[in-house]
Amino acid sequence: MRIGVPKEIKVHEYRVGMTPSAVREAVHHGHEVFVQKNAGFAIGLLDEQYTAAGAKLVDSADEIFARADMVVKVKEPQPQEWKMLREGQILFTYLHLAPDPEQARGLVESGAIAIAYETVTDARGGLPLLAPMSEVAGRMSIQAGAHSLEIAQGGRGMLLGGVPGVPAAKVVILGGGVSGMNAARMAMGLEAHVTVIDLNLHRLYDLDLQFGPKLNTIYSTVDAIEEYVLGADLVIGAVLVPGAAAPKLVSEDMVKKMKKGSVLVDIAIDQGGCFATSHPTTHAEPTYIKHEVVHYCVANMPGAVARTSTFALNNATLPFTLALADKGYAKALADNPHLMAGLNVFKGKITYKAVSDALGVAYLPAEKAVAA
């Protein structure tokens, strides 16, 4: 199979779909890999390393899309990219289609086969290709939140962990999944007062066993969210409904009642965000202030630590990339129901239920689409 790796073009996005090591594995399996020149330059993955691994360097993304049977990326395709896709071509990347009808329409019209990292599953019910970036985003959310609490950023002028004789900041984390757990770990490490709110009692029990009395765990209700959010200095939105738009857990009225200079960090912004006042930002301008509350809503948070993120992501995606290349999409999907769960768009049809529900369009089950 011919595999193409274009340079990412989203603002301040420096991750790359395949590392030289991943390229070498694919070449070892008998595949051709085309990599756009300087695709990994910003994070120290040089063209010479790709060439040594067996990649063929090309000058432009146009050539990548024209020659590749499968395009492996990191972020969702931008408008100029989805216009280069062709019928039957495989796109393997993050998509986040539920809050993005324009991209969904572009992928449907292209006739491509779009497999989303974020909805591939595993035998334990997890999301193995989302988890590495959720870990990174969870840990980064506390760094970002602590910085945003500084008065020069519009925050309350608080040190997250306080100092002897001065209270530490109150951190509230909505969602106790992978990103929420990693956020909690970082916040507790900085000696903040941390509360995790979640609907899953088993998850809260696990968190309590793992972290003990240092972590406050609360069952999610409207009352609980309102009480803890209004008392918080920093709120992390870490809720996830796989493939679907994130629920709006914090209303605009609630934001208006928050303390002046408090901070919201919306990890869920890729799926539309869980705060009513959220809208996507970039690493170039990561924050804005609304109702005297600082909002950090960068839609590709792990891109800020692109080298770490690239290697973590490749560790998870490589087995699936090789399966698609070795077997072809039809057999790879049929053989692995967890990979089949990643199929979001197939030759003009939406094949993921949560996406079709969010966009209000017709749904064709992935298994039926591939079998046909």
Catalytic residue among 100, 198, 233, 270: 270
> Whose CA is closest to 323, among 332, 314, 313?
332
Active site residue 283: no
CA distance 97 to 104: 6
Catalytic residue among 96, 100, 193, 198: 96
Please give the single-letter amino acid code of residue 265.
V
Looking at the DSSP bridge assignments, the partners of residue 56 are 34
Active site residue 29: no
Active-site residue list: 96, 270
